[in-house]
C-alpha cells in the first residue's frame, strides 16, 4: 500500500468514525419520544382536496395518555349546527349552546348516544358526555334540516382536514399508529379506510376517499 493510499483509507475511516460519533450524539439528544407530527392529505380520486374529513390515529401498542379528554362545543346559529363535523375522544363532554333567539330541541338517535335536550334557548346547564365510540348524528326536532356529525373516537390523536384537504396530528409519541379516515359524505357510509403509519420526527400520508355528491 502506498503512503498516499493508506492515508486515504485512514481518512475514510476517520470520517466514518466521526459520522458515527455525530449520529450517536444526535440520537442521544433526540427529543424524547414525544414530538412526531403526522401530516395527512385527503383527496378524491380526481385529486381534488376533501375538507372536513376526520383523521384519527390509534397507537398500535394500545397506550393512551392518561389525561382527561378535551371538551368540545357544537353551537346552533342561524338554524345551523356549527361546526357541521366534530371529532372528540371517548368520554369528552360537549356543550351545545343555542346562539339563536329561537328555541331548538337537539337530539340524537345514534347508538353510541341517544339523548334529547328539550326545547331550549341559551346554554344548557350541563354538557352532554359521549362515553361510547362511534358516529353520533345530531338533529333538531323543530328544524328538520339541521344536522351535525360527531365522531367519537378512542384516541386523543385526531384532526379534521382544512379546505386544502390537509390535517396535522401534532405531538404524537413515537409509535406505530393505525391511522383512520372518515367523511360524512362517503359513498360507503361505513367505510373507514386505514393505514399503519410509523411516526418518528415527521411522517406524511395520503387518503383517497370516494364521496357522494353534495
- Given the rule CB under 5 A, which residues bind Cu ion? 104, 140, 142-143
Q: To the nearest whole angstrom, how small is the minimum distance from the Cβ of residue 160 to Cu ion?
A: 24
CB atoms within 10 A of CB 151: 23
Please identify, using beta-carbon distances, which residue of 148 and 197 lies nearer to Cu ion.
Answer: 148
Please provide residue 190's backbone torsions phi and psi, each rounded to the nearest 5 degrees.
Answer: -95, 0
Please identify, using beta-carbon distances, which residue of 82 and 211 lies nearer to Cu ion.
Answer: 82
| Secondary structure (3-state) at 20 | helix
Q: To the nearest whole angstrom, how small is the minimum distance from the Cβ of residue 128 to Cu ion?
A: 16
Please identify, using beta-carbon distances, which residue of 95 and 210 lies nearer to Cu ion.
Answer: 95
Q: To the nearest whole angstrom, how small is the minimum distance from the Cβ of residue 95 to Cu ion?
A: 16
Q: To the nearest whole angstrom, how small is the minimum distance from the Cβ of residue 212 to Cu ion?
A: 25
User: Which residue, judged by CB position, is nearest to Cu ion in the bound state?
Assistant: 140
Going by their DSSP bridges, the two strands 36-43 and 202-208 should be labelled as parallel
CB atoms within 10 A of CB 27: 8
Instruction: Using alpha carbons, select from 164, 161, 148 the residue that is nearest to residue 52.
Output: 161
Please identify, using beta-carbon distances, which residue of 118 and 132 lies nearer to Cu ion.
Answer: 118
Quote the radius of gyration of the chain (alpha carbons, Å).
Answer: 24
Please identify, using beta-carbon distances, which residue of 140 and 172 lies nearer to Cu ion.
Answer: 140
CA 181 remoteness from chain centre: 8
Beta bridge partners of 149: 85, 137
68, three cell numbers? 382527561
Q: To the nearest whole angstrom, how small is the minimum distance from the Cβ of residue 152 to Cu ion?
A: 22
Amino acid at each position: 500500500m502506498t503512503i498516499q493510499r493508506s492515508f486515504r483509507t485512514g481518512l475514510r475511516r476517520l470520517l466514518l468514525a466521526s459520522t458515527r460519533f455525530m449520529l450517536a450524539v444526535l440520537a442521544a439528544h433526540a427529543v424524547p419520544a414525544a414530538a412526531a407530527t403526522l401530516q395527512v392529505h385527503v383527496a378524491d380520486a380526481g385529486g381534488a382536496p376533501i375538507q372536513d374529513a376526520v383523521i384519527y390515529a390509534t397507537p398500535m401498542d394500545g397506550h393512551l395518555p392518561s389525561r382527561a379528554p378535551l371538551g368540545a362545543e357544537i353551537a346552533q346559529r342561524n338554524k345551523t349546527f356549527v361546526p357541521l363535523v366534530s371529532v372528540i375522544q371517548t368520554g369528552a363532554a360537549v356543550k351545545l349552546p343555542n346562539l339563536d333567539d329561537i328555541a331548538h330541541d337537539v337530539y340524537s338517535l345514534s347508538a353510541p348516544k341517544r339523548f334529547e335536550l328539550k326545547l331550549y334557548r341559551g346554554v344548557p346547564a350541563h354538557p352532554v358526555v359521549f362515553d361510547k365510540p362511534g358516529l353520533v348524528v345530531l338533529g333538531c326536532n323543530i328544524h328538520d334540516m339541521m344536522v351535525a356529525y360527531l365522531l367519537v373516537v378512542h384516541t386523543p390523536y385526531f384532526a379534521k382536514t382544512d379546505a386544502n384537504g390537509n390535517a396535522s396530528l401534532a405531538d404524537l409519541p413515537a409509535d406505530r399508529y393505525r391511522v383512520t379516515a372518515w367523511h360524512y359524505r362517503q359513498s360507503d357510509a361505513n367505510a373507514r379506510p386505514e393505514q399503519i403509519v410509523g411516526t418518528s420526527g415527521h411522517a406524511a400520508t395520503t387518503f383517497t376517499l370516494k364521496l357522494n355528491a353534495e
